Structure 1
């Protein structure tokens, strides 16, 4: 098979492709039986295997729905903030996001320049998007902080203790060591702020109507919203 196609870069000439098919293979799957399931998996029967798949997929879908609700709610909350985000906070957020992206790319052996080339993104466009996203994030943060103050949703001592225990388990250190390190690095305040923001988001989530794209009301139990497992959870600096 031979064909011509446009180059990904507009200023480059068209490219010619030649593809030779050297063989065709067909995947032959084994018959799905209780015997095969027992030999190939940890389950005894096809029904058990199928139920496990359904259970895991349902959990994933509910988690995705939970994240979608939180993201949409945060976006709408940010729109209510009419004042511009403070430039100092925007700059700080931009730097944090950029450092996070560069760090993740470095783990994959990719530079930021290569990433922009792969994604076909101009540097100016990348910076504009970074600023826009950072401004939106700051507005959401300011709105959540305002709710914390208005509704007295500040982190309680027992909430801080629960969070410290989670961090200790996550990093494999004892509770006292984690507490001492956070206090020594002045991160306790950041932890309390993070808990307060989650309290505000939970308070807000409990007071809004959740609907699908057609406007049909969605049962909260079907979404399984869990703000304790959000992707913006507090990060412990070891």
Structure 2
């Protein structure tokens, strides 16, 4: 209705084009992924990635269940208060550091979420006890088994960290002392030992 009067608009459709769907062929496969040459290779790669993702999820689930069982069966009389607070602050710093890498400062994060540092502290307190107990059990197993680390394992750990954080190997070597790397490797071996002890039927 225009100015109280009805109006009729006529339109003419000149042409209707169907959306062209690219042909599923080798050329499309190469456009999608430069590392493959054929459609069959692309399909095989997708299948492998899916299988790897499933295997990783399964292994993570087994590892988590094994560690939770070990922690539940462990006799921990008391968690040191200092260790508890250190874990809370470590988790907070890791989280806020991750935000910082995305260009979000702590102040900006609290402003965006409408929360405070105290509230974040309380949030991480809820799980801190469980994480500390887990670390104590893994530490105890690593100490009891007296895992040793080789120079090759330390070098491999440095290379993995350098690739993960996109840093030169030399920079990682300067930032992380050898004894810290050896400790981390021993902890990983302890986790593997816990997981291997679980018999999955």
8 A contact 1:94–1:134 mirrored in 2 = yes
8 A contact 1:34–1:44 mirrored in 2 = yes
Q: Which has the larger radius of gyration?
A: 2
In structure 1, what is the Cα distance between the partners aligned to 2:120 and 2:19? 43
Normalised TM-score (structure 1): 0.60
2:26 to 29, 34, 52: 34
- Unaligned 5+ runs, structure 1: 1-25, 211-216, 218-238
- Per chain length, whose mean CA-contact separation is higher, i.e. which structure has more relative contact order (CA < 8 Å, sep 6+)? 2
In structure 1, what is the Cα distance between the partners aligned to 2:180 and 2:31? 50
Deviation at 1:130, TM superposition (A): 0.7
Deviation at 1:173, TM superposition (A): 3.4
1:49 to 37, 42, 50: 42
User: Matches of residues 99-138 of structure 1 in structure 2 within 5 Å?
Assistant: 99-112=93-106, 115=109, 126-138=120-132
Deviation at 1:199, TM superposition (A): 1.5
User: Matches of residues 202-217 of structure 1 in structure 2 within 5 Å?
Assistant: 202-210=192-200, 217=201
8 A contact 1:75–1:136 mirrored in 2 = no
User: Matches of residues 57-206 of structure 1 in structure 2 within 5 Å?
Assistant: 57-81=50-74, 82-112=76-106, 115=109, 126-150=120-144, 152-156=145-149, 158=150, 160-168=151-159, 170=162, 171-173=167-169, 178=173, 181=174, 187-206=177-196
- Unaligned 5+ runs, structure 2: 1-17
Normalised TM-score (structure 2): 0.70
| More helix as a share of residues | 2
Deviation at 1:93, TM superposition (A): 1.2
- C-alpha change, 1:101 and 1:194, in structure 2 (3 Å) is same
